[in-house]
Amino acid sequence: MTHARIALMIFLGSTMSTALPAQADPPPAPSGCHSPESMQFDFWVGHWSVSKAAKPDQQTATSVVEKLYAGCAVRENWMPLAGGGDGGSLNSYVASEGKWRQTWVDASGSRAEFSGGWNGKAMILEGVWPQPGHPTQRTRMTYTPRADGSVEQAGETSDDGGKTWAPSFDLIYRPLRP
C-alpha cells in the first residue's frame, strides 16, 4: 500500500467516527419502590409458622411473604396445614392515592380488595369480603409487628357498614425455623 492510501484510510476512519452521532449512555435501571411509605409493610416479609393467638403452640399454617418487583409489592402465599383454604395476597403502596392496596384470592374462588395504611404502629387494611350469608360483610385486618420479631394479624368483621365490629380471627406469625 502506498503512503497516500494509508493516509486516506486513516483520514476516512477518523472522520467517520466523529461524523457518527454520539451514543447516549443507557438509561438507568428503574429504581423500584424505595420510598418510606412503600417499605411500611416490610416487617411482614419472611417465612412464617402461623398459629392462632389463643393456641400459640399449635401451628395452623405456613406463610411465605416476599418483597417483589423491584420493591414495589409484598406478596403472601398462605398455606394451611389442614389443606384447603390456600390463598394469597398481593399488596402495594399506591403513591397517587396515598394508601396501601391488597388483593386476596384463594382456592375457593374468593376474591377481596382491601385498602388502608400504616397508622404509626400497625398496617390496617379494610374492605368488603363476602362470606356465606353475609354478602356485604366488611373485614378489617390489623398487622402489628411485635418486639419478639413476630407479627400479629387480627381480623374484625362488620355487617352494618363499619358502625360496629366483632373479632373474627387473631393469628401470630413467627419466623419459621429451618
Task: Please give the grid coordinates belonging to residue 153.
Answer: 394479624
pLDDT score, position 11: 43
Distances (CA, A) of 7 to 10, 14, 16, 106, 157: 5, 11, 14, 74, 86
Q: How confident is the model at residue 27 (pLDDT cuts 50, 70, 90)?
A: low
CATH of the domain at 59: 2.40.128.20
Euclidean distance between CA atoms 90 and 113, whole angstroms: 10
Kindly state whether residue 128 falls inside one of the protein's structural domains.
Answer: yes
Kindly state whether residue 14 falls inside one of the protein's structural domains.
Answer: no
pLDDT score, position 85: 87
Convert the pLDDT of each residue in 112-161 to its tens digit.
999 999 999 999 999 999 988 999 999 999 999 999 999 999 999 999 99
Distance of CA 85 to the CA centre of its chain: 20
Residues facing 154 on adjacent strands: 142, 170
Kindly state whether residue 15 falls inside one of the protein's structural domains.
Answer: no
Higher pLDDT, 93 or 13: 93
pTM greater than 0.85: no
Kindly state whether residue 4 falls inside one of the protein's structural domains.
Answer: no
**What long-range pairs does 2-7 form, CB within 8 A, spacing at least 24?**
none
Residues ≥6 apart with Cβ < 8 Å to 1: none
Kindly state whether residue 113 falls inside one of the protein's structural domains.
Answer: yes
Can you give the residue range of the structural domain that contains 60?
A: 37-175
- State the total domains in the chain: 1
Kindly state whether residue 120 falls inside one of the protein's structural domains.
Answer: yes
Kindly state whether residue 96 falls inside one of the protein's structural domains.
Answer: yes
pLDDT score, position 15: 43
DSSP string, 106-135: ETTS-EEEEEEEE-SS-EEEEEE--BTTBT
CB 9 within 8 A of CB 24: no
Kindly state whether residue 11 falls inside one of the protein's structural domains.
Answer: no
Convert the pLDDT of each residue in 48-93 to its tens digit.
999 999 999 999 999 999 999 999 999 999 999 987 889 999 999 9
